[in-house]
Structure 1
């Protein structure tokens, strides 16, 4: 009598984070385009949809009451407030995906990445960095005609986020979107080193 095939062990969760304006969404969109088999978690948010955004594809758009319910029922792997809105990762789809032995990718802010590390020590944290500080300043300044005080606050937050790169396992420089996407997918599919983590030193 043939024995049942062994179950695949859960895959490793990979988290992509980095400062605002570094191009996280652009790199993830390129990953989706070039590697459609890669599963990317869809976050829940209390902010209103932007033109062209589709509920369940770009975000799960929920009201404050629903977000409060998710928090109360431990339905979020992580959550954070950013620019007056809350964002969080529904935990059930992520667990279901990892249980199949297939990798999962989260694109979240720094606060969320820290929460994931606290809950899952084996998660792989990837920091997306700009080619230079001046490039990041240029990208943030090009986002619209914001008052100088708002721009200064954004830059201060971005500098603090850049300073946190040492908390991550790997740093990927977004100097070319296609190359960064390829590197990220390579990290997603690399075998897990178990409980061995880098010391935080990066080239």
Structure 2
């Protein structure tokens, strides 16, 4: 792990204590970071009671205070200690139960990570295109708000400036909100990069 710059003595001591805690490898465990500027996909590399190391798909820039959300919806407050070479180290606000973290215990059943976004999408049904608001993205689907009424099981195409055309099916509805499942599957990296481009706090 490499620091960018030096830390005050009290924070450096805290970091050394964090490094001394037993760490558990969690390769390819997808999670979500929630910050003041948006939401970001990440991968948990290892974890201890006091901190976690994450693989990033892009720089977090000015984001320092965030929440780490698991696939089961549990959120933990974290503070960025270092960021370098596509990875970053974070300190938990309070010590955690590592086994609970590894088991991805949380308030909801585990499901694919959905990243909140804010963008305009174009929905095409039977040759007619309507503008919709894109609310979230996962590897398998999206959540949209649209004035047009859609039916469960209806087939359509969706695209946005940062999203190529995907064929999709309506899987749930609570008008004007709808859930779509894609016929294609995005990779984690593809989802992370596309969702990053749709964050409301990002300068475009």
TM-score range (shorter-chain normalised) is under 0.3
TM-score (normalised: structure 2) = 0.24
More contact order relative to length (CA 8 Å, sep ≥ 6): 1
TM-score normalised to structure 1 length: 0.24
Q: Which has the larger radius of gyration?
A: 2
Greater fraction of residues in helix:
1
